[in-house]
Structures are given as structure tokens and as C-alpha cells.
Amino acid sequence: MKIRSGFFMLLLMVITTFAEAAPNSTDPIRTKKEVAAMTTAEKEARVAAIIKRVEEIKAMDRSKLSGAERKELRKELRSLNKEAKVFGRGGIYLSVGAILVIILLLILIL
């Protein structure tokens, strides 16, 4: 029993260590600082270029591509998506819990 629990503890430590040491591959192509330094015309031009490239990829006949080429297209689309999110306007997101709290407060006040 001690060996099994020791093994699971070791496994847990290894998994959490690798998760912490993993490189941050989710960084977008352009950082928020770079986008803030751009003019509005440059931002609009880059967003238009991203949209144009995504439409080109959608119009492609992907059935004739090899597996490696499809994988490259997926990687490119993911990087374009991440870059487009940096240019995004953001927004207000409310969770279900926040909505319930707001409704309860409104009921209590009114």
C-alpha cells in the first residue's frame, strides 16, 4: 500500500512539475504593447489582411492536401486567431452566477 501511494505521489509531482515548466506557446504573434503602438490605419490593414487570409484558406480545396500541409494550415489559422484576438475590442462577459446575483439584488431592491 505504501509503494502504491508513494508511486502516485511521485506521479503527481512529475505531472505538476512538467505543467509548470511547459513553455508558454499561447502567446499571440503581436503583443498588446505592439498593437497599442500601432496607428488605427495599421490595425485596420492588419485585420483586413488576417480576414483575407482566412477566407483564402476557407476557399481552398483541402481534400488534396497531405496531412502535414493540413497541420500547417491549422497552425496558421490558430496563430491568426490569436493575433486577431489581440486586435479585438474585448467586451463584457457575465457568468451565470453574476447574472443570478444581479437578479437577486434587483428583486431585493424593488
In this prediction, what percent of the chain has a pLDDT beyond 70?
A: 78
Model pLDDT for residues 26-56, shown as the tens digit of each residue? 445 666 777 778 888 888 888 889 889 999 9
- For the chain, the average pLDDT equals 79
How many contiguous H segments (helices) and E segments (strands) does the chain have? 5, 0
* 103, 83 contact by CB (below 8 A): no
Structural domain spans, the chain: 25-109
Q: What is the dihedral of CA 59, 61, 65, 69, to 10 degrees?
A: 0
